[in-house]
Structure 1
């Protein structure tokens, strides 16, 4: 009985939402976390959810579709969210302004006032991609004072930079 009670009271699950524009690599990153392999994906309509355990810490990862028509419903996922993972396509210079607009809109939401932010600068294997430093500067991350944040270069297809 003692062990079960201990487990019951110490089991904590952290809610993570993975957001970003369509085709940024959110679902590929989710399954790279889960299985350490590339899974063929199609555009996410709605969301995918998976539990990932890292060193006995449980994360409930919500991968939310990024098409323009779905972004207005992102706020339905915000309740109890501790971590936001924003995935940016490092080759998509034209839509970086939209990513910036979306992340600052999210961070202004009451339910996310305590959330930490991880930005994955994805597709670093592609020729002509922006560096994490360029993306950080464009997103004005240095002015983000109310949320702990980190930007990480990665390649969802190889898993590089994700662990």
Structure 2
């Protein structure tokens, strides 16, 4: 008996790919988080105009991460990135109390968008190393995250500069892949 192998039989299985958008107001730490994921080091950044896209692989799970600029003039364009998005990473500047209401408005605008109806939401409460920062619990309460019933969500304290808390956020996302 002979066995015929096709080239595709010898290739490793394809990694599952999941689209992620990283959003938040300008200066929240989105790009710093992206490059911590990618290189495990701090990269000096300037405001993102448009987007950065990188592939991050965690335990055979392939995340295509789109880091989208957060300046006011760019936020109206976020919806052009929503198609096929499985995960939203919302980065919150934990010391920027004055603009938390804007973050809340943007979050609920995204969650109401048809293209994001199945997206899970990871909120990074960034800059936890700063004196006087809001805790993840305070941010959760202010954003009324407990009222979000139609999207799985998780809030994670983090510090983009040290990487603290970022792995826990990625682990939550990885645990959500394949859950529908």
TM-score of the pair, normalised by structure 1: 0.91
Larger radius of gyration: 2
Partner of 1:21: 25
Q: Which runs of 4+ in 1 moved over 3 A?
A: none
Residue 86 of structure 1 aligns to a residue whose secondary structure is strand
* Corresponding residue SS for 1:31: helix
Distance 1:103 1:79 in 2: 16
Cα distance 1:69–1:40, how it changes in 2: closer, same or farther (>3 A)? Answer: same
State the 1:162 CA deviation: 21
Counterpart position of 2:179: 162
TM-aligned CA deviation for residue 69 of structure 1? 0.0
Contact 1:16 1:83 (8 Å CA) reproduced: yes
- Evaluate the alpha carbon distance shift between residue 97 and residue 162 of structure 1 in structure 2; reply closer, same or farther with a 3 A threshold: farther
| Offset from partner CA, 1:16-39 (integer Å, 9 cap, x none) | 000000000000000001111000
How many residue pairs are counted as aligned between the two chains? 151
Contact preservation (8 Å) 1:156, 1:162? no
**Cα 1:99–1:162, aligned 2, differ >3 Å: closer, same or farther?**
farther
Whole-Å separation in 2 of the counterparts to 1:120 and 1:88: 6
Q: Find the aligned partners of 2:78 and 2:147 in 1 and give their Cα distance.
A: 23
Query: Among 129, 137, 142, which residue is 1:138 paired with?
Result: 142
Tell me: CA distance 1:29–1:45, structure 2 relative to 1, closer, same or farther (3 Å).
Answer: same
Residue-by-residue CA offset, 1:33-85 (whole Å, 9 max, x unaligned): 11110000000000000001001110000000000000000000000000000
- String of CA shifts for 1:99-132, please: whole Å, max 9, x gaps: 0000000000000000000000000000000000
SS at match of 2:54: strand
Distance 2:108 2:52 in 1: 23
* TM norm structure 2: 0.82
> SS where residue 39 of structure 1 aligns?
coil
Q: Runs of 5+ in structure 1 lacking a partner?
A: 1-12
The 8 Å contact of residues 154 and 162 in structure 1, kept in 2 or not, is answered as no
What is the root-mean-square deviation in Å for CA atoms of aligned residues? 3.1
**Which ranges of structure 2 fall in alignment gaps of 5 or more residues?**
1-16, 165-177
